[in-house]
Structure 1
C-alpha cells in the first residue's frame, strides 16, 4: 500500500465532465488549489528541487486550465492533476536534466521544510505502513537515491510504490504498456537498492526519540564550540557528508573530520544555532556574528540522519535556503561575544 492511499477519491466528489468545462477560472483555481501541497511534494520527489517543484506545479495548473475540456470524468479531478503533474516533471527533466545524478551526489538537491509537510493529509491510525512510507520517501536519503534513476523509471517507482497506483493506471499516465511499466518498476527498485542500505532502518531514522534529540543537542553544542573531537565522537564510521550544490562527497569519519579541519571551521567564533527540522529529519541552522551588521546572520543548515545512536549522514545547505525554511533572517546581538 502506498503512502497516498487516498489518491482515488470517488468520482462523484469531483466536478463532472460538463461542470469542469463550464467552470470559470476562479472556480477552477479553487478546485486545483486544494491539491497544491500534495502535488508540490509529488513534483519534489520527482525533481529533488523545491524551487523546480514550485515551477512545475504552476505549469501543471496552467496545463490543466488549458486542457480542462479534456477531463472525461473517468478518474477523479485529483488523479487527473497527478497525471498532468507527472508529465510536466518528465518534460522538465528531459529539457533540463536529461541525465540522472551519479556518484551519490545530487547538486540540485534542496530541503523541504516540515512546516509545509504538515499541510499534507495525515495518514490514519489504521494505515501505519502508509505513514511510514510517507516519512521515509521524503527523507533526503530517499531523495538522493531516486534522483539516480532515469526519469521514467523514477516516475513509475513513485507512482507505484509511493502513491500506490495500479500498474494499469501508471501505464495510462505515462502512455506505456503495463508490461513496460512492470519492467521499469523492477529496474527502478534494483537501482534504489544500489543507493540505499539493504535494511530500511539503516536509511531512515524514524520519528525523533529522546536519544536522537539528545544526540542533536550534543552535535549543536559541539558545533557552536567548533570542537571537532566532540563532533567526531558522534559520527558513525561510515558517515557521509555533502553540501549541495557544492561538489564533493565525503565518506567515512576520517574524511569528514579532515574536510572540517581544512575548511577553517576550527577556531571559528561567534556561532549561534537554531534547532529545526526538514524532510522529517532533525536539522540545525547556524548563524555567524557579523560585526558590521550588528547581528547574527545565516550561515548554513545541517540536516542530520541519525541511526542507532550515531550520525550517519550530514547534508549541509547554504544560507539562501533559510527564507524557504521559515528561519529568521537574523538573530539579535544579545549574548554576542
Structure 2
C-alpha cells in the first residue's frame, strides 16, 4: 500500500491530502467513522496492524468514489460496505489468525521448553480507545463485539461467513442489505449466516458465566491484585485470583497451559524476573476486557515485555493471553520505557 495514505501522528496523511485537493468535505464526512471502521476491520481480520492499513484503503476508495455517492444509504453504511469488500479482498491471500488454543493441540507441559510459532499470523489485541463508541449506551455491545474469544471464534469462519455474521449480528443489517453489499443473493446470505452461527457456537466458550465489565469495582480490584502479585514477585498469590481451570497462552509461543498450578509453574520456569520490582504493570482495557501492560527491568528502567488481556468472571480470572509482540505497545499509546 502506498505510504502516502498511512497515518502520521493523530492526523492521517490521507486527510491532509484531501484538504489539499479541495476534498475537505469528504474528510469531514468520513473521519468521524474512522474508529468504528477500525473495529469492523479488526473483527474481519483479527489484526490491529492490518486493520489500520485497511481503513486507510477504505477511505482512499471512498474518496475516489465520493462524487458518485448518491445518498441512497447513510454515509456510515456506505463506508462499512466499502470496508467489508476491502477486507474480503485482503483476506483472499491471508491465513486465519488463531490463538495458541485455536491450533488444536492439547495443553502443554509447563516445564518443557517454549516453542515459537514464528510463521503463524497470530491474533492481535485491540485497544479500548479504538472501539469505544460515542454513545455510552453502546459501550457494552461494542465491547462484546471485539472480545478476544469472539474475534478468535470468528477466525474459524470463512471470510464471507465472517462478513455476513458481522454485518447481520453486530451491525444489525438486513439480509437484503448484506446481499447487496457483498454481491450475492438474500438466500445465500441466510445460508451463510446459519452456517456461521453454528460454527461460532461450536468455537466459542460457554456464555453461562458472564464476563465482568472491565470498569466495574470487582474487575478493578482483581486487576489491582493481579498487578501487585507480579510487581511483588509473589507469583503464588496468583492462585487466589485464577480459576482452577484457568488458561494461559503467550503468542507467538505455540503452547498453552491449563490450571492454576501449571500456570504458576510456567511463570517460575520461564519468566526472566527474579525479585520484587523487576516487573512493572500499567492497568488498561483491551478488547473490552481488563488488561495490563507488563514492563521488565532493563538497567535502571523497565522496557516493554508483554500485554496481558484477561477474561474475568465472578469467580476469578479464567484466561490470560499474554502477547509478546512489543510493537503493540505504541499502538496502545503506551510509553517506550518506564
Which TM-score bucket, shorter chain as reference?
0.7 to 0.9
Query: Per-residue deviation at 1:52?
Result: 0.6
Query: Per-residue deviation at 1:83?
Result: 0.6
User: Aligned equivalents of 2:97 and 2:337: distance in 1?
Assistant: 36
The residue that corresponds to 2:323 in the other structure is: 317
User: Aligned equivalents of 1:147 and 1:201: distance in 2?
Assistant: 23
Which of 170, 184, 189 matches 1:181?
189
1:110 lines up with 2:124 in the alignment: yes
1:74 lines up with 2:87 in the alignment: no
CA RMSD in angstroms, aligned pairs only: 2.3
Residues 230-260 of structure 1: per-residue CA shift (max 9 Å, x gap): 1123211221222223322223334433322
Which of 272, 276, 297 matches 2:303?
297
User: Aligned equivalents of 1:245 and 1:54: distance in 2?
Assistant: 21
Provide TM-score, normalisation by structure 2.
0.81
User: Aligned equivalents of 1:35 and 1:51: distance in 2?
Assistant: 18
Residues 90-149 of structure 1: per-residue CA shift (max 9 Å, x gap): 11111222x56485258432222223333x22154xxxxx54322211111111111221
Which of 198, 218, 224 matches 1:217?
224
Between 1:134-143 and 1:173-182, the stretch displaced more is 134-143
Contact 2:289–2:309 (CA<8 Å) still a contact in 1?
Answer: yes
**Unmatched tracts of structure 2, length 5 or more:** 1-20, 104-119
User: Aligned equivalents of 1:192 and 1:132: distance in 2?
Assistant: 20
Contact 1:100–1:147 (CA<8 Å) still a contact in 2?
Answer: yes
The residue that corresponds to 1:64 in the other structure is: 62
SS of the residue corresponding to residue 186 of structure 1 reads helix
SS of the residue corresponding to residue 330 of structure 2 reads coil
Contact 1:241–1:250 (CA<8 Å) still a contact in 2?
Answer: yes
The residue that corresponds to 1:274 in the other structure is: 282
The residue that corresponds to 1:11 in the other structure is: none
The residue that corresponds to 1:121 in the other structure is: 134
Aligned length: 299
Contact 1:286–1:299 (CA<8 Å) still a contact in 2?
Answer: yes
Query: Per-residue deviation at 1:60?
Result: 0.7
Provide TM-score, normalisation by structure 1.
0.81
